[in-house]
Structure 1
Amino acid sequence: MFDYNAPSQLLKDKVILVTGAGDGIGKVAALTYAEHGATVILLGRTLKKLEAVYDAIETLGHPQAAIVPLNLDGAAEHDYLELANTIESEFGHLDGLLHNASVLGDRTAISTYNPATFEHVMRVNVTSQFLLNQALLPLLEKSDMASVIFTSSSVGRKAQANWGAYAVSKFATEAMMQLLSSELAIKTPNIRVNCINPGATKTKMRASAYPNEDPTALPNAVDIMPLYLYLMGEDSLAVNGQSIDAQ
């Protein structure tokens, strides 16, 4: 799956929502899914960045994307329900959901961690995913084969000092994936749920977490896209409830 060679139309006629689609791994994933035939719904906080991704997809001649500006820190339940209603009216269903949006928070000891920052990280990295799942599951159930992908981290499996709320949030992400995959396997087997740990990748978040690291030594986001394609396409129908390293 790490050197997966995806068919050019692997995701033809699929509707896929990508959070954090304006930058980094989310941007590259959105472009990659569109390149392989998907209609991509671009969700993010910054409209200008989303418009740039939209324009790139259009310029390349891929299926027309859709833009959903949404601040996951301040969004409430009704915002997610409104999003679901819009997707249903425009597309009728949803075939894929990539939970990519995350914030790092502070790299400090948990004993002195700022409570407001902790709540902010948990709202963006955990609560938003919970609400988005609940709102969009009825649309995913209408798909012949739907895939939900969470974004994990090595510090969400074994905590390390000074990773604070980010580590806590990624442990929660792993738990949410496991819960959702096991519950849906019983009642909605057409939806599979997995996690991807991107690993050390050249992104702005990585640079913030490791300011002294040489970014030229890191792989680009495009280098880890084979796994993102594999888990979103039909070749991974038997994969459910797994947390997989992209590197």
Structure 2
Amino acid sequence: MFNYTAPNDLLKERIILVTGAGDGIGRATALAYAKTGATVILLGRTEAKLDAVYDEIEAAGGAQPAIIPMDLDSATEPDYIELSNTLFDTFGRLDGVVHNAGVLGARTSIENYDPITWEKVMRINLTAPFIMTQTLLPLLRRSEDASIIFTSSGVGRKGRAYWGAYAVSKFATEGLMQTLADEIENEPNLRVNAINPGGTRTPMRAYAYPAEDPFKLPTPEEIQPAYLFLMGPDSKQVNGQSIDAQGDMSASQL
């Protein structure tokens, strides 16, 4: 597992947006960030799930979070511009974004893949993070130390049969991250990286591997060291990297 121990105040006074924050890895990341001092903006499709995470953060004594319901499948450019304007009016800046939201799509061959499902997977997994990042960059540049984290996958580094649009979207996510990282490499206050969570005990994993024993997998909480490291100041010099949350690596090796 990625080896990093976060100070209790790692993200104190930082404002961080987490997509797909209602459950799974997004929920665990939002809670971990709030626990280390951040004001977390919870973005997701299901408001009831976001409300539950909101209540967990408040019950634990964290800074009051914010909730932004948004369906990335139907969102258009004006929705992202409105999001940026709302965050500017409310907070004035943004210190981090975690692009966690995603869908699996169909597990079938390229030959048989439904084009409508293909477009949906690409829209949620790739186009939405692209447009959101583009519209939020001015807010991130107002931060003294901003971090963008994309979500990668093992099947986004080496193609695997029957992973279809999901695998292709993750290959493209790696490319988007690397391209943006190269473009901003001379901006000392902004960095862009990606995390491959690996097999984790989430609903998506259960759907992809219905016969697998989920209790043999780490929980979303157990892979948080990578998310904390890449969002906090200890990773300020790390840019354009794709790290494995379950990899045998320490922060000092990056």
**How far apart, in 1, do the equivalents of 2:129 and 2:2 lie?**
26
- Structure 1, unpaired ranges of 5+: none
| Residue identity matched to 1:231 | L
What does 1:45-124 align with in structure 2 at a 5 Å threshold? 45-124=45-124
Structure 1 residue 3: deviation in Å?
2.2
1:218 maps to: 217
SS in 2 for 1:7: coil
- Structure 2, unpaired ranges of 5+: 247-254
**How far apart, in 1, do the equivalents of 2:94 and 2:176 lie?**
20
Structure 1 residue 197: deviation in Å?
0.2
Identity in percent:
63
Cα-Cα RMSD: 0.8
**How far apart, in 2, do the equivalents of 1:65 and 1:135 lie?**
21
The answer on whether the counterparts of 2:201 and 2:219 sit within 8 Å (CA) in structure 1 is yes
SS in 2 for 1:102: coil
Spell out, residue by residue over 1:47-84, the C-alpha distance to the aligned partner (whole angstroms, 9 max, x if none): 00000000110111100000000000000000000000
- After superposing on structure 2, the runs of 4+ consecutive aligned residues of structure 1 that deviate more than 6 Å are none
Structure 1 residue 189: deviation in Å?
2.8
1:23 maps to: 23
| Residue identity matched to 1:86 | T
**How far apart, in 1, do the equivalents of 2:226 and 2:156 lie?**
19
1:234 maps to: 233
Spell out, residue by residue over 1:163-222, the C-alpha distance to the aligned partner (whole angstroms, 9 max, x if none): 000001000100000011000113x33110000000010000000111110101001011
Query: How high is the TM-score relative to the length of structure 1?
Result: 0.98
Aligned residue pair count: 246
1:170 maps to: 170
Pairing 1:3–2:34 present: no
2:249 maps to: none
**How far apart, in 2, do the equivalents of 1:244 and 1:61 lie?**
31
Query: How high is the TM-score relative to the length of structure 2?
Result: 0.96
| Residue identity matched to 1:195 | A
SS in 2 for 1:223: helix
SS in 1 for 2:68: strand
| Residue identity matched to 1:199 | G
**How far apart, in 2, do the equivalents of 1:92 and 1:80 lie?**
16
The answer on whether the counterparts of 2:2 and 2:244 sit within 8 Å (CA) in structure 1 is no
Structure 1 residue 238: deviation in Å?
1.1
**How far apart, in 2, do the equivalents of 1:206 and 1:16 lie?**
26
**How far apart, in 2, do the equivalents of 1:81 and 1:206 lie?**
32
